Amino acid sequence: MGAPKLYESFHGERGGRRFETGIKFGRRWLTPQGALNIIIPEGLTVVGHCAAIEYDTRRDGRAVLARHEFAAGSRPYLMAGDAPGQLFLVGTRYKFTSRGIMDIDSNGRLIDGGLDK
């Protein structure tokens, strides 16, 4: 599923034909519009495994708080860089879909845990 269709199915509204990349905070671009700059720091440190994540999002046009608890075998590493604002989730046993974050089992199949709550 392409990014516009994924956006539409998750948010319940059309994603449009063009997606901007970059990081925007409010009305201000923190990175150049049209470029996504992620630098993986040399000082990357493994903090531990991430058991769950909560995030604010929009679903069907409404603001919601989503929560995903990772299955034991799907928990990504929570890693931190040595500069402010550098947190990373690193793993291969989860995927973001139109239903939210979904775990992946050892055979590569999505685990149907339902929508993030």
Whether residue 89 is found in the same domain as residue 102:
yes
Q: What are 104's strand-pairing partners?
A: 110
| CA nearest neighbour of 77 among 95, 93, 89, 92 | 89
* pLDDT given at position 38: 55
Residue-wise pLDDT tens digits, 40-91: 667 788 899 999 999 998 888 899 999 999 999 899 989 898 888 889 888 8
CA distance 33 to 43: 27
Cα angle 20, 25, 31; round to 5 = 55
* pLDDT given at position 84: 86
Whether residue 113 is found in the same domain as residue 72:
yes
pTM over 0.75? The answer is no
- Do 20 and 34 form a contact (C-beta atoms < 8 A)? yes
* pLDDT given at position 59: 84
Residue-wise pLDDT tens digits, 6-22: 667 766 666 554 445 56
Whether residue 33 is found in the same domain as residue 58:
no
Residue-wise pLDDT tens digits, 26-48: 676 666 666 555 556 677 888 99
Whether residue 10 is found in the same domain as residue 50:
no
Whether residue 77 is found in the same domain as residue 29:
no
What is the residue range of 87's domain?
Answer: 41-117
Report the first-to-last Cα separation within the chain, whole angstroms: 23
* pLDDT given at position 37: 53
Helix (H) or strand (E) holding 83: none
